[in-house]
Amino acid sequence: MFKVSELPYFRARIADLSILLKTLETKKESIDNWFTDWFDSDHYHLLYQHRNDAEAEAFINRLFNKLNLEKGSKVLDLACGKGRHALQVYQLGYDVTGLDLSEESIAHAKKFEEEGLRFVRGDMRQLSLDAKFDLTLNLFTSFGYFKEQEEDLKVLDGLSEHLEKDGMVLIDFLNVKKVESDLPCSNTIQREHIEFKTSKKLEDGFIVKDIIFEDKGKSHHFKEYVKYLKLSDFENYFKKVGMKIKAVYGDYHLNPFEEDRSDRLIMIAKYA
């Protein structure tokens, strides 16, 4: 039995517990939903507006020369963003569908639509398209955003269900071993009138990027979460959905993958 004089102590401990539970719940929500608001924000597009489009264009040209995919084949660009790369694949002579969760990005991409090029808004975990594809592209680290392994498998299972018998799935992911060697790290990036302060660390099986900035007198803090997935993890993932990795490359020049040195982990999988 506690004494009346001890009430302030217990009240303080209860308050601490309440704060802890609220913090844990906020953390859970941020991991589960971080991409929903961030990818639709003007600040996201401002921060990443200087991505190397020339390098990406050269990679796609190089990739399709390597794949030797028949012209007119159906291609799905999963997590297509604003549609720039889907448009490029279409211009190479393919029938292209682009899918992305961001309402703003799909609205922009639809400006490019014409016969043989279409864009739809959707969640990659709940893929439901009235088509099967000869090739699915998932480019520039657009995988591993979800907290639970089951959600990753839902994505791959959906892709396999929408794949033609001899079709291919290509996932372009970061090489986590190479990234890990540089963590933790921080950087300051100036974009127009905004100074973005970014930092990366490895936490709870994710590579976490904090993005902090001020705009119009208001402070903002976003986080990006990318799951720590090695080649062996992807091999296990694909095996569970009846597929197997057939080729692995380590950069956008399609050089062989080296776990300790390569910048990228680019995998091509087919039905086992």
Domain ranges of the chain: 53-177+227-271
Q: Which CATH code of 3.40.50.620, 3.40.50.1260, 3.40.50.150, 3.30.70.20 fits the domain covering 53-177+227-271?
A: 3.40.50.150
Residue 247 binned pLDDT confidence (cut-offs 50, 70, 90)? very high
Q: Is the pLDDT at 128 greater than 50, yes or no?
A: yes
Residue 97, strand partner residues: 76, 118
Q: Is the pLDDT of residue 64 over 60?
A: yes
pLDDT over 80 (residue 119): yes
Q: Which helix (H) or strand (E) holds 2?
A: none
Q: Is it the case that residue 21 has pLDDT exceeding 80?
A: no
How far is Cα of residue 131 from the mean position of the Cα atoms in its chain? 23
Q: What is the pLDDT of residue 26?
A: 41
CA atoms within 13 A on the CB side of 159: 34
Residue 165 pLDDT > 50, yes or no?
Answer: yes
- Rounded CA separation 150/155 (Å): 9
Task: Tell me what the mean pLDDT of segment 24-41 comes to.
Answer: 67
Q: What local confidence, expressed as pLDDT, does residue 53 receive?
A: 75
pLDDT band at 257 (very low <50, low <70, confident <90, very high): very high
Residue 5 has a pLDDT of 59
* Secondary structure tally for the chain: helices H, strands E: 8, 11
pLDDT reading at 15 higher than 80: no
pTM: 0.86
Contact 177, 259 (CB under 8 A): yes
